[in-house]
Structure 1
Amino acid sequence: MLVIVSDEQPKIAMGLMSYIPSLPTYAEVTRELQWYQVSDARTLMLWKDPITKHFTAVLGVEEVYDAVLLRLVAFGPEVPVVERQKVGHDIYTALSNWFPELTLMGTITTQKLVNEWKMTKHD
């Protein structure tokens, strides 16, 4: 289940964002969090595992024209690497349902994930 990061949850999001290699320091994670907070077009979301009810992933999206752009996605260590594609599939399906009028797209970094999801979403 997707949940928008609330004012009470920034530390959860920051903890998950710290697993992103391009955000190696607390200052960079904080800057990224603030970047999402300053625009209504950008949203930071958490993925709540349907079984454990723990937040296991964070994703950042931006609404751009007729698309929702997946800017970042990071999984916590409790999601095994071999399970991340399946969990990602569930996340991108939920994201697509959250923004039904918009096309899900990725950045240079995330487009591969979106393409894999698009190829398997009709299975």
Structure 2
Amino acid sequence: MLYKYKKDYQKIAMGLLSFIAELKDISRLQSELKWYDAEDNRNLYLWKDDSNDFVGIVGIEENDDIVIVRHITVSPAVRNEGVSFKILDDLQNLYSEKKIMGNIETTNLITKWEMKNGSGK
């Protein structure tokens, strides 16, 4: 289940985002969190698994008809359990009227997710 980022989740969010190679540096990570906070159309969502642990995070930028997935990552402990697809499913439910798209880093995952679902909105 997705939970909208709030300051209480900062350490968890930073930990999850640090699994992304380009965000390993703490100053880069902090500036990325500030970037998401700077505009209302940018959001981070943390994802909890069935055992009620935060194990994933997705960063999005919302436009008129689309939601661009800028970052998505999951804890290495659950990486082979299809968590990314579950996150994208929940994101699609949250933004049901919009098409989910990726950026350069996330497009391959989005394409695989769309093929699994037999769609592309």
SS in 2 for 1:36: helix
CA shift at 1:107, angstroms? 0.2
Q: 1:1-123 residue pairs with structure 2 within 5 A?
A: 1-49=1-49, 51-80=50-79, 82-83=80-81, 86-122=82-118
Shift of 1:78: 2.1
Q: Which runs of 5+ in 2 are unaligned?
A: none
Kept in 2: contact 1:48–1:56 (CA 8 A): yes
SS of match in other structure, 1:101: coil
Distance 1:3 1:37 in 2: 15
| Higher percent of residues as helix | 2
| CA RMSD after TM alignment | 1.4
Give TM-score scaled by structure 2 length.
0.93
Q: Distance in 2 between matches of 1:111 and 1:77?
A: 20
Distance 1:75 1:6 in 2: 18
Q: Give 5+ residue unaligned stretches, structure 1.
A: none
Contact 2:74 2:83 in 1 (8 A): no
TM-score, length-scaled by structure 1? 0.91
Whether the 8 Å contact between 2:56 and 2:83 is mirrored in structure 1 is no
Which whole-Å CA distance do the structure 1 matches of 2:83 and 2:73 have between them? 11
